[in-house]
Amino acid sequence: MAEQPAILAEGLKKYFGNVKALDGVDLAVPQGTVLGLLGPNGAGKTTAVRILTTLLQPDGGRGEVAGYDVVRDAQALRSVIGLAGQYAAVDENLTGRENLEMVGRLYHMPRPAVRARATELLTQFSLDDAADRQTKTYSGGMRRRLDLAASLVAHPQVLFLDEPTTGLDPSGRVDLWGVIEDLVEEGTTLLLTTQYLEEADRLADQIAVIDHGHVIAEGTADELKRKSGGDVLEVSVASARKLTSAVNALADLTAGEPHIDKRNNHVTVPVRDGSSVLVDAVRLLDKARVKIDDLSLRRPSLDDVFFALTGRGAEDQTTESNGESGKERTRA
Amino acid sequence: MTTATATGTAPRVAAPVIRGRLPVGWVVSDALVMTKRNLVRYFRLPNLLVFSTIQPIMFVLLFSYVFGGAIKFSLPPGTHYINYLMAGIFIQAVIFGSMQTGVGLSDDLAKGMVERFRSLPVARSAVLAGRTLGDTVRNVFVVLLMTGVGFLVGFRFHAPFVSSVAGLGLAVVFGFSFCWISACIGMSVRDPESAQAAGFIWVFPLLFASSAFVPLATMPSWLQAFARNNPITHVINAIRALTQGGPVWHDLWVSLAWIVAILLVFVPLSVRRYRNAV
């Protein structure tokens, strides 16, 4: 237990004018584990990553990565980390191989090692065929992969991935998850930010939910799900007018804030006890003359957890970003 | 790709870690890696090279043939306009070329390249130095090309060879200092289109209200006062003297002082912008 965490943040603060981007964030990521930093846009995820990767200076608190202080030892710290930011930051006029070799040279690795590593990564990321093409000809998914490969050139001890799958299609996302899982098996410590609960659920050992610059919950995916108060009842009603009646009818069973989705005539209700809930629900809804299309009981997802914690859906505030072209992306 | 695993053929080589100051060797190598990256752009984007050289060629031809006839009466007797004009053309070419520094940097900023570079153990000066040096190498090429085009339409050196080469060198060094002004603009406006526009707005009056294309004596007196103290006038007069003969030293010293002053102001300013850029 005496082992030093690979990433440590204590009371990190960052203000932009009056906006408290980070308002005292504490994190501790043990070596070789994955922390999922989960939160909506503007929650402070990227700011935390930027401070821990020395791009921004904190206004308060302190941070350490691999034992290096983010302010005092910034220069040394940069040699042991890899960062893949929100943009697929690859030079369009260079080939995939040249991009990787340039990054290797900038880590001051010896030339032969750089060359070997570039070839190795291009194979690992299925970019061999495109290795010697300029990256302006790459698809969005290929750029993302190359960007991730670039962050791995120097076998970093600690890797930071800021929304690595944003802008990818579902199959590209699943592919990238596979690559990230392989990395973690090799012992890399990873801090991953995401808006996708599914992603955090699948990749992270520990999850920290961040909102308005605070960590509002922490734990494994299972622990967080348990915190949200047990199972979730999902009700689809035949008519939108009956949504309120359904919620009222189920009041006795309800253990948390119901989530009403008017567009889909759908209500999600956290419930206390799993055993007889379904039978009770049918009885109560029938008594209130609410005609139902579908009724199911399930374990809570991280989506439900996020809603329970913040009172809104995790993806309510997200904006669609397009991975095809860097030009189409706008700064948040 | 889900089945991809590390091939494991190459030994795991991590980056060397140095606490404290970066070794000079690293600083130099970082700048060179960046310079190379920026020069590759010109070879990969032939259009960029073609259009950025066509423009000055066009100016040589238009000025010497369109205005040459009218302006020659304002020149000292016996002076060919092309020999007067070329110093102005050199400076125009390097200044327009230096504007690319800001455009390129703001593009790097917008596309997240600066963020990537700043997360690497790279000397803080490298990204800016690589850009300004890359554009300076390009400026050398453009100045030589302009000299060639000038020769075809009658331009000749009338000073010793070494002095003439020094004149061309002065144009390039002055361009280098303008690259840093441009870098500062690029790091401030943050998008390539604005960098392009912001770069040119102030350059045109500065360039035209100088001795670049016409003798100062033909201008209204209030403008003469401005033009006489315009650093571009001093640099162009120095280049004219270095390539055509005549008194050099005063204009040369003033030019060098301006170059040093511009660098002293804009290098630290640009580096600070870079350090705070995300």
Q: Which amino acid is at B185?
A: I
| Contact (CB<8Å) A85/B115 | yes
A102 vs B3, B37, B112: nearest CB: B37
CA distance B257 to chain A (A): 35
| Contact (CB<8Å) B15/A108 | yes
Q: Which amino acid is at A3?
A: E
Residues from chain A contacting residue B45 (CB–CB below 8 Å): 93
**Stretch among A4-18, A156-170, B161-175 having the lowest mean pLDDT:** A156-170
- B110 inside 8 A of chain A by CB: yes
What residues have CB less than 8 Å from A201, skipping those under 6 apart? A207, A221, A301, A302
Domain that holds residue B240: 25-275
- A72: nearest CA partner in chain B: B20
Per-residue pLDDT at A23: 93
In the predicted structure, residue B247 carries a pLDDT above the cut 70: yes
Residue B165 lies inside a defined structural domain of this protein = yes
Write down the number of H helices and E strands in chain A: 11, 14
**Stretch among A17-21, A113-117, A270-274 having the lowest mean pLDDT:** A270-274
pLDDT band at A228 (very low <50, low <70, confident <90, very high): low
Question: By C-alpha distance, which of B165, B249, B245, B236 is closest to B206?
Answer: B236
Report the C-alpha gap between A310 and A332 in whole angstroms.
21
What six digits make up the tokens of A192? 């991953």
Q: CATH number for the A7-225 domain, one of 3.40.605.10, 3.90.1520.10, 3.10.129.10, 3.40.50.300?
A: 3.40.50.300
Residues from chain B contacting residue A98 (CB–CB below 8 Å): 40
Q: Which amino acid is at A261?
A: D
- B112 inside 8 A of chain A by CB: yes
Question: By C-alpha distance, which of A208, A152, A55 is closest to B10?
Answer: A152
User: Is A154 in contact with A109 (CB distance < 8 Å)?
Assistant: yes
| Contact (CB<8Å) A126/B115 | no
In the predicted structure, residue B2 carries a pLDDT above the cut 80: no
What six digits make up the tokens of A2? 């005496």
Residues from chain B contacting residue A54 (CB–CB below 8 Å): 118-119
Residues from chain B contacting residue A116 (CB–CB below 8 Å): 9-10
* Predicted confidence (pLDDT) per residue in B104-143, tens digit: 999 999 999 999 999 999 988 899 999 999 999 999 999 9
Residue B13 lies inside a defined structural domain of this protein = no
pLDDT band at A319 (very low <50, low <70, confident <90, very high): very low
Average pLDDT of chain A is: 86
pLDDT band at B3 (very low <50, low <70, confident <90, very high): very low
- B6 inside 8 A of chain A by CB: yes
* Predicted confidence (pLDDT) per residue in B59-73, tens digit: 899 999 998 888 888
In the predicted structure, residue A276 carries a pLDDT above the cut 70: yes
| Contact (CB<8Å) B7/A124 | yes
* Predicted confidence (pLDDT) per residue in B160-208, tens digit: 999 999 999 999 999 999 999 999 999 998 888 999 888 888 999 999 9
Per-residue pLDDT at B30: 95
What residues have CB less than 8 Å from A326, skipping those under 6 apart? A87, A88, B110, B111, B112
Report the C-alpha gap between B127 and B131 in whole angstroms.
6
Cβ–Cβ contacts within 10 Å for residue B273, how many?
20
* Predicted confidence (pLDDT) per residue in A281-292, tens digit: 888 888 888 888
In the predicted structure, residue A332 carries a pLDDT above the cut 50: no
| Contact (CB<8Å) A75/B19 | yes
Q: Tell me which residue has tokens 């850029």.
A: B277
CA distance A25 to chain B (A): 20
- B45 inside 8 A of chain A by CB: yes
| Contact (CB<8Å) B2/A55 | no
Per-residue pLDDT at B4: 42
Residue B14 lies inside a defined structural domain of this protein = no
Per-residue pLDDT at A330: 35
Question: By C-alpha distance, which of A47, A63, A49 is closest to A11?
Answer: A63
Q: Which of A105, A161, A181, A185 to mutate to test the interface with B (most CBs of B within 10 A)?
A: A105
* Predicted confidence (pLDDT) per residue in A165-207, tens digit: 887 788 888 888 888 888 888 889 999 998 888 888 889 999 9
Residue B176 lies inside a defined structural domain of this protein = yes
Cβ–Cβ contacts within 10 Å for residue B62, how many?
11
Per-residue pLDDT at A71: 95
Question: What integer is the mean pLDDT of A101-120?
Answer: 96
- B24 inside 8 A of chain A by CB: no
Question: What integer is the mean pLDDT of A10-25?
Answer: 92
A229-299: in CATH 2.60.40.10: no
Residue B11 vs residue A325, higher pLDDT: B11
In the predicted structure, residue B8 carries a pLDDT above the cut 70: no
In the predicted structure, residue B270 carries a pLDDT above the cut 50: yes
- A149: nearest CA partner in chain B: B6
Residues from chain B contacting residue A88 (CB–CB below 8 Å): 112
User: Is A165 in contact with A202 (CB distance < 8 Å)?
Assistant: no
* Predicted confidence (pLDDT) per residue in B76-107, tens digit: 888 899 999 999 999 999 999 999 999 999 99
pLDDT band at A296 (very low <50, low <70, confident <90, very high): confident
- A50: nearest CA partner in chain B: B278
Report the C-alpha gap between A45 and A212 in whole angstroms.
10
What six digits make up the tokens of B45? 């984007």
Three-state DSSP state, A124: helix
pLDDT band at A303 (very low <50, low <70, confident <90, very high): confident
Q: Where are the domains of chain A?
A: 7-225, 229-299
| Contact (CB<8Å) A113/B10 | yes
Average pLDDT of chain B is: 90
| Contact (CB<8Å) B112/A326 | yes
Q: How many CB pairs under 8 A join A and B?
A: 137
Residue B33 lies inside a defined structural domain of this protein = yes
| Contact (CB<8Å) A124/B6 | yes
CA distance B6 to chain A (A): 6
Per-residue pLDDT at A1: 46
Residue B18 lies inside a defined structural domain of this protein = no
